[in-house]
């Protein structure tokens, strides 16, 4: 399956989840499709989704990340014992944890394509964290 096919599957699924968006047309242009997919990822509220969707999403995001390259923690210099300060695309950082400056509700940003840390994190990570938080009170 190509990246374009994966992207279309993901967009269609996300559009079908939201009645108000289901009549939106998927753009033909790759950049516009990526923009639409990112926007849909960013506004989706945490809830269950099919394993098939997660598999396609993971394949898509892994290939997109591979194109950008990975920054390994070992290539960075600590500012203190085991603490690193780094600025860049967090989806390309290979590390154990990323500190997120979330809002007081720990729900993140609700602005599609806003250039904040919340919108750089793939929604499956956010979804997993929110599901864990809801399960453990």
3-state secondary structure the chain: CCHHHHHHHHHHHHHHHCHHHCCCCCCCCHHHHHHHHHHHHHHCCCCCCCHHHHHHHHHHHHHHHHHHCCEEHHHCCCCECCECCCCCCHHHEECCCCCCCCCCCCCCCCCCCCCCHHHHCCHHHHHHHHHHHHHCC
Percent of the chain with pLDDT over 70: 72
Answer yes or no: pTM beyond 0.85: no
**Distance in angstroms (rounded) separating the CA atoms of residues 127 and 114:** 18
In the prediction, which pLDDT does 21 show? 82
In the prediction, which pLDDT does 120 show? 60
Q: What is the pLDDT of residues 9-50, one digit of tens each?
A: 999 999 998 888 878 899 999 999 999 999 898 888 888 999
In the prediction, which pLDDT does 18 show? 83
Q: What is the pLDDT of residues 44-101, one digit of tens each?
A: 888 899 999 999 999 999 898 888 888 888 888 889 888 888 887 777 888 777 666 5
Provide the residue ranges of all domains of the chain, joining segments of one domain with +.
3-68+100-135
In the prediction, which pLDDT does 137 show? 45
**Over 70: is that where the pLDDT of 135 sits?**
no
């Amino acid at each position: 399956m190509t990246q374009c096919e994966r992207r279309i599957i993901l967009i269609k699924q996300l559009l079908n989840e939201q009645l108000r968006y289901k009549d939106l047309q998927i753009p033909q242009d790759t950049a516009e499709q990526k923009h639409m997919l990112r926007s849909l990822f960013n506004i989706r509220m945490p809830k269950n989704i099919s394993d098939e969707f997660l598999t396609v999403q993971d394949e898509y995001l892994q290939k997109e990340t591979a194109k950008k390259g990975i920054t390994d923690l070992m290539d960075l210099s600590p500012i203190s014992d085991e603490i690193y300060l780094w600025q860049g695309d967090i989806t390309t950082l290979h590390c154990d944890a990323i500190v997120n400056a979330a809002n007081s509700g720990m729900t993140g940003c609700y602005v599609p394509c806003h250039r904040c840390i919340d919108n750089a994190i793939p929604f499956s990570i956010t979804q997993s964290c929110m599901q864990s938080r809801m399960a453990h009170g």
